[in-house]
Amino acid sequence: MDIRKLTTDDFEACMTLSEYAFQFVLNEEQLEKRREEFASHNVLGVYENGQVGAKLQIIPFQTYIQGRSFAMGGIAGVATWPEYRRKGWVAGLLKFALEEMNRNKQSISFLHPFSFAFYRKYGWETYVEFKNYKLSTDQLPAKKATPGTLRRSNPELSVLKEIYDTYAERYNGTLSRNDSWWENSVYAKKGSQRAVYYDEAGLPQGYVLYEVKERKFTIGEMVHLNEEARQGLWTFIANHDSMIDEVTLKAPANDTLAFQLDNPRIQQEVTPYFMARIVSVEQFISQYPFASQDSPVQIQLEVEDAHAPWNEGVWELNVAMNGTASIWKKGELTKEDQHAQHIRLNIQSLTAVLMGYRRPAEMARIDRIQGSEEDIQALEKAIPVRQTYLMDFF
């Protein structure tokens, strides 16, 4: 298998494959934007008879985890020509991609799967889901007077960024967006209309990106930093009641909209969304801010990772009282380790736990991790509780 890093000379071949595999056609302007993005991505391909037969790209992102920014490799555009499928090429590309991300210190990776089962085989695991809401106008939150002001306009990007960054840091797995991502992904895909809620002091506290068309109010993104801003934004939306019949939006999985309605029997659906994978146990945990402890914690982790051998083995994790962690690899499991207390888990389970998507005690109950009750509880207390969320797509 001839795997190579692709260059801009391979752009046309890659786009032809993407258009075929994902069944879309781009115009000249869109192709030019893709060409610019291509140059900044790490694109890998399998060559067969001098042609690109399969490819994927690693997009460099930053993601918030426990309020801290982590370097993340976003896997996207995985595609193979039909005549070359089932040759193990994607497996080879994913393994090569893991090596690339490890070298580039991208300690975590996200992707949007065509099949959750397929990517679980290579170490990725579900890390986030969201709620889909659909409300008729008579189900909307009651209009309520708020002390602030709602301005429907074209606000400066810096205003939306300030609100978004404050909001995104409250979750695990949100993107830290740069200006280019705002312009080419957020603005381009989430609705041309924008409204910002300002409090009495004139400080921006929330915004909504939306589209009103064919009597539908489609919310591309709704962000609020406090309850006042939430109420102000919903009152603005409800004031469209003569123009619309329904409102649709996505929200975090723990969103409480239904509970706050007079009639909570609204249409809502929980949808599994993206997957995550720890690329480097050592790099990731060394950055990870654990919860403060009454006393230092020491836990041994026996990690299984067939596709990233640098993660496989027994690790000693030490968490200081201030939540700072140190970790080092003890090597393969020895006879002494087999009799010592430690937690056994694969890279998928470790990812789900440290991303905050699942708790250690819950994972132990369903036999996704094994260990003593004492060690499981120590890990449970060490990992801060924080909801996962992702508002973007790639």
Can you spell out the DSSP letters for 176-244? ---HHHIIIIIHHHS-SEEEEEE-TTS-EEEEEEEEEETTEEEEEEEEESSHHHHHHHHHHHHTTTTT-
198: which residues sit within 8 A by CB, 6+ positions away?
A: 148, 149, 150, 151, 204, 205
Report d(CA 147, CA 257) in Å as an integer.
21
Span between the terminal Cα atoms of the chain, in Å:
27
The CATH H-level (homologous superfamily) assignment of domain 280-382 is SCP2 sterol-binding domain (3.30.1050.10)
239: which residues sit within 8 A by CB, 6+ positions away?
A: 143
Q: Do the domains 280-382 and 2-106 match in fold?
A: no
CATH architecture of the domain covering 2-106: 3-Layer(aba) Sandwich (3.40)
- Encode pLDDT of 351-388 as tens digits: 999 999 999 999 999 999 999 999 999 999 999 999 99
Report d(CA 233, CA 150) in Å as an integer.
7
Cross-strand bridge partners of residue 136: 246
CATH 3.40.50.300 fits 131-272, yes or no: no
Taking 80 as the threshold, does the pLDDT of residue 51 lie above it? yes
For the chain, give the mean pLDDT: 96
Percent of the chain with pLDDT over 70: 97
Report d(CA 180, CA 253) in Å as an integer.
28
Average pLDDT score over residue span 230-239: 98
Q: In what order do the strands lie in the sheet with 325-331?
A: 325-331, 313-319, 297-304, 343-346, 369-370
Poorest-pLDDT segment among 28-32, 136-140, 216-220 = 28-32
| Contact yes or no for 131/266 (Cβ under 8 A) | no
Taking 90 as the threshold, does the pLDDT of residue 334 lie above it? no
Cross-strand bridge partners of residue 63: 70, 175
pLDDT of residue 1: 84
pLDDT of residue 336: 61
Output the pTM of the full model: 0.94
Report d(CA 55, CA 37) in Å as an integer.
15
Q: What percentage of the chain's residues is helix, strand, coil (to nearest 5)? A: 30, 35, 35
Taking 90 as the threshold, does the pLDDT of residue 170 lie above it? yes
Length of the chain as a residue count: 394
pLDDT of residue 338: 56
Average pLDDT score over residue span 330-345: 71
Taking 80 as the threshold, does the pLDDT of residue 180 lie above it? yes
pLDDT of residue 30: 92
Domains of the chain, residue spans: 2-106, 131-272, 280-382
